[in-house]
């Protein structure tokens, strides 16, 4: 594991307590000045793929409902600036202003997320990794950043995973592992988390995540 990941893991374990407490105290969307009502109107064009209120029914298209606002905002910026590439999504982010992104982010964060279902076969492989990592390959516990129920850490912009489509999550883990998705310190961190995972572990983790709630 690189020093970058070690440093961030230490930050995750020790340095994040203040923002988490702030989030619990009601400041769950730090740094954003979005307007939920304005976001609702702007989200009409997103529904074709991400579903009504961000609950996509198509496994390749991510659910946005209940996703952390800062995370959504950062990902929209990444698509717009070309740091995260996807031929379908990039043109959708291109025309958005900074205010549009903030409004959309707080709107989706405020929508209830629909649950998913995990495949039972995956639990034996995925649960130990999710909860404890793989020590001899330097893979950290997923729960350390994404939380025991997959709720993420909105203040730190660690995304919600619970209920997400397995097909989408699997594609993202492979993109991180291949180094295709690694923008910024956080993208790099996640790409190093995924670097040592096998195809079988990725498939199991992706469906396990979908069943978390």
Of 26 and 95, which has the nearer Cβ to ligand HEC? 95
CB of 200 to ligand HEC, least distance (A): 13
The residue among 67 and 111 lying less far from ligand HEC, judged by its C-beta, is 67
Between 34 and 187, whose beta carbon lies closer to ligand HEC?
Answer: 187
- In this complex, which beta carbon is closest to ligand HEC, that of residue 27 or of residue 131? 131
To ligand HEC, the closest distance from the beta carbon of 31 in angstroms equals 15
Q: Pull the structure tokens for residue 202.
A: 């990725």
Q: Which residue do the tokens 């020590």 mark?
A: 135
User: Shortest Cβ distance from residue 213 to ligand HEC (Å)?
Assistant: 15
Cβ–Cβ < 8 Å for 61, 54? no
CB of 36 to ligand HEC, least distance (A): 14
CB of 136 to ligand HEC, least distance (A): 14
**Contact residues for ligand HEC, defined by CB under 6 A:** 8-9, 12, 45-46, 48-50, 61-62, 64, 67, 72, 75-76, 86, 88-89, 92, 104, 129, 139-140, 142, 144-146, 158-159, 161, 169, 171-173, 181, 186-187, 189-190, 193, 205
**21 or 184, CB closer to ligand HEC?**
184
Number of Cβ atoms within 10 Å of the Cβ of 1: 14
**Token representation of residue 147:** 């939380």
């Amino acid at each position: 594991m690189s020093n970058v990941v070690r440093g961030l893991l230490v930050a995750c374990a020790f340095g994040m307590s203040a923002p988490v407490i702030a989030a619990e105290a009601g400041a769950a969307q730090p740094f954003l000045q979005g307007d939920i009502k304005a976001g609702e109107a702007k989200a009409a064009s997103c529904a074709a793929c991400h579903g009504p209120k961000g609950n996509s029914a198509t496994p390749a298209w991510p659910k946005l409902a209940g996703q952390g606002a800062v995370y959504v905002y950062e990902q929209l910026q990444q698509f717009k600036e070309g740091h995260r590439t996807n031929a379908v999504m990039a043109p959708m982010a291109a025309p958005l202003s900074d205010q549009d992104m903030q409004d959309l982010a707080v709107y989706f964060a405020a929508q209830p997320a629909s649950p998913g279902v995990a495949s039972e076969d995956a639990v034996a492989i995925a649960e130990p990794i999710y909860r404890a990592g793989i020590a001899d390959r330097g893979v950290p516990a997923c729960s350390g950043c994404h939380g025991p129920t997959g709720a993420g850490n909105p203040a730190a912009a660690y995304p919600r995973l619970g209920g997400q489509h397995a097909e989408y999550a699997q594609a993202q883990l492979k993109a991180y592992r291949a180094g295709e998705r690694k923008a910024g310190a956080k993208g790099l961190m996640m790409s190093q988390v995924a670097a040592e995972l096998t195809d079988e572990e990725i498939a199991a983790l992706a469906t396990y995540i979908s069943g978390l709630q």
